[in-house]
Amino acid sequence: MSDQEFKRALGYANSAFDLLKRSTVPPYPQFYELFYTYATGVNPTLNNRINAIFRAGDSPSESLAEQLYNEFLKSDVNDRMTAVSQRMHARIEAVHGAIDTAMTTANAYSGLLQSASGDLSLGISPAAMKSLSEKLLAETRHMQYTNRALEEKLLASRDDIAALQRDLDDVRRESMLDPLTKIANRKSFDDGLAAAIAEVRGRHDPLCLMLVDIDNFKSFNDSFGHQTGDQVLRLVAMTLKSNIKGKDLAARYGGEEFVAILPHTDIEGAVIIAENIRRALQAKELLKRSTNQKLGRITASFGIAAFRPTDTAASLIERADRCLYAAKHAGRNRVINESELVNTVTPTRKQGASAA
């Protein structure tokens, strides 16, 4: 990079950080990329959108910045996976082509050596010997050139494939995250629960499953808007994730429902974790940033089930789901585990119960 290019890039970076400060948007990598792109002016549509926000006397909030990033910069995971696969395929094809060329050259060189060996065994004139030597020398140099070209392609391919592998790992990790809350998505949860069950089956180690549902989320969303609702979902996800540890896995189950896989945790320990999360959520008072309007407090209901030797993933989820709905029907904002349901019959979502 030239000195001029470095100074220009540094200027874009400084502008991006100034915009982050001005907008009080967290300097997360995606938001830095958003404002860096704005500073370069390479995306006129994005610049027009942000300029309109500034002209209105506003500045991009965190939620709006995320919306702009998702719209203009964030590529679809499947598209990225396809792009990486295509690059990998192209690189492999290039290596195959170089190997085929080297093999063809090597075979021709081997045939020439065999022919020369036959000529030498019969005896040839000095002039023919000179001609043969010159021909062998030329072919040897050609062979050396081909081998060097193959070696260079293999070295370049090794670096490219390493970079592609890193890209593929990044895409794979992203494909396992919920794009809104940045915790594990449903697929990641399904895989994680299957792995956790396989690990404890036959070993008598404890394993608990916790389902979480935000109370009255639909009415909250309808009252204050989807952007505020998204902030609530991120808050719940962050609180859930910060209260688990080790091999525990927090995931967004769907809509306003979350789930946590708690290996090496018995039912009593799982209840303690759930109560800590419930109290942490209830203690947070929500404010609308643009107006400082108090939006009240959010609460959540929890259902907990412990793994049994005969369980499948579906049966474990069903019992946790029954506990969750018992918590809803008991007044919400509470934790219920399956030991409390021994003598009760509680409707599940399969029976049409409401989760609100």
What gap in Å lies between CA 123 and CA 331, rounded to an integer?
Answer: 106
Among 161-165, 264-268, 352-356, name the most confident range: 264-268
Return the CATH fold of 186-351. Answer: Alpha-Beta Plaits (3.30.70)
Residue type, 240: L
Pair 230, 180: CB distance under 8 Å: yes
Pair 232, 214: CB distance under 8 Å: yes
What gap in Å lies between CA 162 and CA 64, rounded to an integer?
Answer: 35
Residue type, 239: T
The two beta strands, 207-214 and 300-306, are: antiparallel
Output helix, strand, coil percentages for the chain, rounded to the nearest 5.
Answer: 65, 10, 25
Structure tokens at 49: 């959108």
Q: Is the pLDDT of residue 349 over 60?
A: no
CB contact set of 137 (below 8 Å; sequence gap of 6+): none
Average model confidence (pLDDT) for the chain?
80
**Which pLDDT score, from 0 to 100, does residue 128 have?**
74
The pLDDT tens digits for 108-144 are 777 777 776 776 666 677 777 777 677 777 878 877 7
Q: How confident is the model at residue 4 (pLDDT cuts 50, 70, 90)?
A: low
Domain locations in the chain as residue ranges: 3-72, 77-175, 186-351
Q: Is the pLDDT of residue 280 over 80?
A: yes
Pair 112, 135: CB distance under 8 Å: yes
The pLDDT tens digits for 36-50 are 888 887 677 788 888
| Secondary structure E strands in the chain | 207-214, 249-254, 257-263, 285-288, 293-297, 300-306, 335-337
The pLDDT tens digits for 162-190 are 666 676 666 666 677 888 888 999 889 99
